[in-house]
Structure 1
Amino acid sequence: MKIAIPENFIIGAASSAWQTEGWHGKKDGQDSFLDSWYKEETFVWHNGYGPAVATNFMEKYQDDVDLMKEIHLTHYRTSINWARFFTDYENLVVDEEYAQHISDMVDALLAAGVEPMLCLEHYELPSYLMEKYDGWSSKKVVELYAEYARIAFERYGDRVKHWFTFNEPIVVQTRCYLDAVRWPHEQNTKKWMLWNYHKVLATAKAVAIYHAGNYGGRIGCVLNPEMVYPRSNSAEDQKAAEMYDLFFNRVYFDPMVNGVYPQKLIELCQEHEIYFDPTPEELAIIKENTVDFLGVNQYYPKRVRAPRYQWNPEMPFHPEMYYEVFDLPGKKMNNSRGWEIYPQIMYDMAMYLKNNYHNIPWLVTENGMGRENEENYQNEQGMVEDDYRIDFISQHLRYLLKAVADGANCEGYMLWAFTDCVSPMNAFKNRYGLVRIELNEERTRSLKKSAYWYRSLIDDRILEAEEEKLYR
């Protein structure tokens, strides 16, 4: 079937600073949290690849911009690396060399007809602030972040009209302090919730600064909600899904979009002694400075059921007390990544936002397919024939466009990623890009089959996708 893509519907791509830049030109003391993790636990990164070289975007960004122009890309989202933006984080001394790189990149994008979208923090918290203030545990870091945002807006707000405060603000503390599966492996549920709260507060402060500056653009946050599906229609399974949604989705959606925290979440945090103890002044800042729009990253569904076993009272509190992950038999899988493929999440998430958050403007800021051993799909000319990626995008975009037709206020789709890039631990094991990156010294680039197909979407505004798939 052929589906018309609305003319104003964005078809773009995304990446981040730390996953592409490499360390070229980085100065002593400018490590981010990701840099420190890589140095501490290089062995957990696939084949030892990490942010040290990445795709060498610092030197090769013009090559990538030229490829964007060749593909006719109209929008590109990336981040400013907070850890590299300053040489002194407390006195806010800007690294002028790095700041000029960001400015040059923005100018290059605009010259190529590509609208830049900038995120202020894509896991790039400076290690200095981790070591001195325990990162987002401290309100001092909230204040320093707000001043960083002010400087970034002053420098680039004349040209950049789409801003995001964070990318996936829940992820780092969930991996490090809730589940303790990543360095520094500290299990601390109260810290997990405090970091969540301080990122909400930091967002509100950045929103206030941006609006006061009258920059003529808009500011939001990139969240990664998981569309939650209960195992069955039983009251117990339904409650499990509601609790997961509360702790992992609404913990950001409600304060950032509606300006207030869910009362049920507050009560549970107090009951389990993980409450973040906000002041009335802070809650007022959050209420008065909600986001203009949202970025939403979507990859896979979350399936849960009522827990079958009593929670061990000697374990620290974890929201898993209220739910258990459900493994759906027969689900379609991306076996390279270990993720379920369920394109209907696009439609269901769109309706979730439409029905619960006054149909706020939003766009898909990440969706994509990581695939292992893509060199096996190279043809005689060396081009990767990634038909699996084309099918993946087609099916997800089909559901998203159906949601738009049904009234969802979704403005576009941003593929993850424009080029292959480094991912946490995964490194280059799974490839996501329209552009292939060879792991040679030059980091040679080449377009995959999907890049030419993506260009046809942008130019022709027609999606050809099968009407039905055997997704459950």
Structure 2
Amino acid sequence: MTRELPSDFLWGGATSDFQYEGGYRENGRGLSTHDYETNGNQINPRHHTMVTSSGKKIFPKSAFVNADDVPENAKPLVVDNQYYPSHNAVDFFHHYKEDIKLMANMGFNVFRFSISWSRIYPTGEEETPNQKGIEFYDNVISELEKYNIQPLITICHDELPINLAVKYDGWNSRKVIELYMKYVRTLFDNFGKRCKYWLTFNEINAIRGFGPTGVHKASGIDRYQAAHNMFVASAKAVILGHKMMPKSQFGAMYAMSASYPATCKPEDMFHNQLEQRENWYFIDTMGRGYYPVYADEILQHHGIKSLKEIKMDPDDKEVLKKGQLDFISFSYYRSNISKDGDDWFNVGGSPNPYLKTTPWGWGLDPLGLRYTMNMIYDRIQKPIFIVENGMGAIDKPNQEGYVEDNYRIEYLSQHLSAMADAINIDKIPCIGYTMWGPIDLISLSTGEMRKRYGFVYVDMDDLGNGTLKRTPKKSYFWIKHVIETNGKALDEN
């Protein structure tokens, strides 16, 4: 069976604004929830810089991990002598033409990027949008069109204007649904006729902490109330998008790891099934348009009596039904295992003794990608879109900045082959594939540059020092050949 893919398959890369864009105070952009995160490393997690009403500075755990220790009256603060990676990132804001040309030369026909909500509405509450922000993204889309690259836009990628977090406790408030819809309508008015594919939210099943939701408390009913409000906002965006742009297609993005029971012991098998329902809770609700029958079981595990404890408007169920997603998109980097007695929602899971790992301990499991594609499609019966996949590694360039990243080529060759087998053998309808961080960017979990994903090396260190020069790696030329042959080159490996 050949690994050549359908002629309309979309090949590309994916980024987020706060990890890639930079220009955080340029042309009227406001501050977002991620703009207060310092950098970190494997030992010391990233921190939010906060100040309480008493004036005491606190540095809670990374928003990516947990933010339950953030007092309700805490206000984010930017302080001296701290490096905030999102402020400049790798400066796509000033390098977008160069970067898009590099993508085009690889053969990309799609580019997934997120729009910074605070670049369009600096506080989230303005009556009219920031025209300079609209102009920037208009220029980005025009540059993509120049090379026949389709935009895949993430409307909300783990952040919101800081004013909405402080004033309303973020997505805990239905007011934020209203403000999100104003933002969404602005995007559709300005870019809707030029963009077919949209993602309403990023990794919505992993929403924990101050950055992604703007909610001070990251667990319990606060997390699931925020999730419900995001479900409703997503559905309303889909309904509006279908009305304004009838040919548009909408997804939301989920963090997926193949999860296996540690043993065939029945208790391990059942625990793994229950744990996986944490993910399915989000995918089922948005993909099918209604809460699953096991919703109460999930909520009770987190100390919530039932779904009735979640505040809903009378028409929310009808909105969810009408605004269900057109396709399911997800990130896939690794697999893990779980056993009876493990905590639920263990993002990293337990290590699988049968797998090699990356320098960050992530299990390398290409077959798990094929397994995940089958699991999602069997359950939801809608097309899927792999919108994040890749290998974070420590790249060592020569004096010219060239990186001979054979390890990345091996990783991608195996994962793309597994994807092609799912499409060609298992008959899974897959719209496309966007590799995470095609040009090196800031790590979400640690804020460092040392953990690199890209086909293109960016000369910058963990503290933002460097020339920002872009240099293609060996994998750049490899993926160019794969795309030129529409996957057929995978048979050569």
Q: Give the TM-score of the pair, scaled to structure 2.
A: 0.84
1:197 aligns with 2:232: no
8 Å contact from structure 1 (residues 394, 463) kept in 2: no
Task: State how 1:223-262 maps to structure 2 within 5 Å.
Answer: 223-247=254-278, 249-262=279-292
- 124, 137, 143: which one pairs with 2:159? 124
1:411 corresponds to 2:437? no
| 2:392 equivalent in structure 1 | 370
| Alpha carbons of structure 1 residues 339 and 465: separation in structure 2 relative to 1, 3 Å | farther
Contact 1:16 / 1:79 at 8 angstroms: preserved in 2?
Answer: yes
> AA paired with 2:110?
H
* Residues 390-418 of structure 1: CA deviation (Å, up to 9, x unaligned): 11011011111111121111122111112
> C-alpha displacement at 1:66, in angstroms?
1.4
Tell whether the 8 Å contact from 1:347 to 1:403 is kept in structure 2 after alignment: yes
| Map of 1:37 onto structure 2 | 37
Equivalent residues of 2:117, 2:124 under 8 A apart: no
The alignment partner of 2:104 has SS state of helix
Q: CA 1:172–1:252 in 2, change beyond 3 Å: closer, same or farther?
A: closer
Distance 1:279 1:206, change over 3 A: same
CA positional deviation for 1:9: 2.0
> Which range moves more in the overlay, 145-154 or 99-108?
145-154
- 8 Å CA contact retained: 1:12, 1:76: yes
Secondary structure of the residue that 1:278 maps to in structure 2? coil
SS across alignment from 2:17: coil
| Residue 297 of structure 1 pairs with residue 336 of structure 2 | no
Q: Which residue of 2 aligns with 1:470?
A: none
CA distance in 1, matches of 2:122, 2:379: 43
How has the CA–CA distance of structure 1 residues 30 and 410 changed in structure 2, closer, same or farther, with 3 Å as cutoff? same
**CA-to-aligned-CA distance 1:30-77 (integer Å, 9 cap, x gap):** 1111002346169979x9461111111111101101111222211100
Which secondary structure does the structure 2 equivalent of 1:263 belong to? coil
Question: Counterparts of 2:61 and 2:280 in 1: how far apart (Å)?
Answer: 35
Residue 250 of structure 2 corresponds to 219
Counterpart amino acid of residue 428 in structure 1: M
The answer on 1:391 being equivalent to 2:410 is: yes
In structure 2, the gaps of 5 or more residues are 39-47, 50-58, 64-81
In structure 2, relative to structure 1, the CA distance for the partners of 1:325 and 1:369 (3 Å cut) is closer
Matches within 5 A, 1:45-444: 48=83, 50-173=85-208, 175=209, 186=217, 188-247=219-278, 249-270=279-300, 272-273=303-304, 275=307, 276-307=310-341, 319=344, 325-335=349-359, 337-358=360-381, 360-372=382-394, 374-375=395-396, 378-379=397-398, 381-405=400-424, 406-424=426-444, 425-439=446-460, 440=465, 442-444=467-469
Query: Distance in 2 between the 1:263 and 1:355 partners?
Result: 18
Residues 124 and 179 in structure 2, CA contact (< 8 A), matched pair in contact too: yes
Q: What SS is found at the alignment partner of 1:371? A: coil
One-letter amino acid matched to 2:423: V
Are the counterparts in 2 of residues 49 and 428 from structure 1 also a CA contact under 8 Å?
no
Deviation of the 1:445 alpha carbon: 0.7
**Is the CA contact (8 Å cut-off) linking 1:305 and 1:325 kept in structure 2?**
no
2-structure distance, mates of 1:319, 1:88: 35
Amino acid at match of 2:389: N
Q: Which residue identity does 1:303 align to in structure 2?
A: I
Which sits farther off after the overlay, 228-237 or 274-283?
A: 274-283
Task: Give 1:325 shift.
Answer: 4.5
CA distance in 1, matches of 2:143, 2:349: 45
Once residues 43 and 291 of structure 1 are traced to their aligned partners in structure 2, the CA distance between those partners, rounded to angstroms, is: 33
Q: Is the 8 A contact 2:34 2:211 kept in 1?
A: no
1:312 corresponds to which residue? none
- State which drifts further: 395-404 or 190-199: 190-199
Write the distance in 2 (CA, Å) between the matches of 1:76 and 1:118: 8
- What are the superposed Cα offsets for residues 60-107 of structure 1, whole Å, 9 maximum, x if unpaired? 101101111222211100011001111352234211111100000000
Aligned residue pairs total 446
User: Where does residue 485 of structure 2 map in the other structure?
Assistant: 460
Q: Which amino acid aligns with 1:201?
A: V
CA distance in 1, matches of 2:102, 2:28: 32
Go from structure 1 to structure 2 and tell me whether the alpha carbon gap of 1:92 and 1:216 turns closer, same or farther (over 3 Å shift).
farther
Contact 2:217 2:223 in 1 (8 A): no
Task: Provide the C-alpha distance between the structure 2 equivalents of 1:197 and 1:438, rounded to a whole number of angstroms.
Answer: 41
Q: Give the distance between the partners of 1:43 and 1:171, measured in 2 at CA.
A: 16
Query: Which letter does structure 1 place at the counterpart of 2:147?
Result: A
Q: Residues of 2 paired with 1:122 and 1:146: CA distance? A: 15
CA gap of 1:466–1:305, structure 2 versus 1, over 3 A, is farther
| In 1, Cα distance between equivalents of 2:214 and 2:304 | 24
Describe the superposition over 1:373-403 as per-residue Cα deviations: whole angstroms up to 9, x where unpaired. Answer: x12xx34653111111111011011111111
Residue 224 of structure 1 aligns to a residue whose secondary structure is: strand
My pick for the range that moved more, 211-220 or 157-166, is 211-220
- Aligned residues of 1:240 and 1:324 also touching (Cα < 8 A): no
C-alpha distance 176-189 of structure 1, shift in aligned 2 (>3 A): farther
2:151 aligns to what SS in structure 1? Answer: strand
Structure 1: runs of 5+ lacking an equivalent: 309-317, 468-472
Asked if the contact 1:394/1:465 (under 8 Å) is kept, the reply is: no
CA contact (8 A) 1:77 1:119 kept: yes
Q: CA deviation at 1:187?
A: 5.3
CA contact (8 A) 2:401 2:459 kept: no
Cα 1:296–1:21 shift into 2, 3 Å: same
1:258 Cα deviation from its structure 2 partner = 0.8
- Counterpart of 2:340, as a letter, is A
The SS at the match of 1:219 is strand
| Counterpart-to-counterpart distance in 2, 1:324 and 1:86 | 35
CA shift in 2, pair 1:465/1:304, >3 Å: farther
Which residue matches 1:14? 14
State the shift of 1:204 in Å. Answer: 0.4
Residues 21 and 88, structure 2, Cα contact 8 Å, conserved in 1 = yes
Give yes or no for contact 1:13–1:75 (8 Å, CA) kept in 2. yes
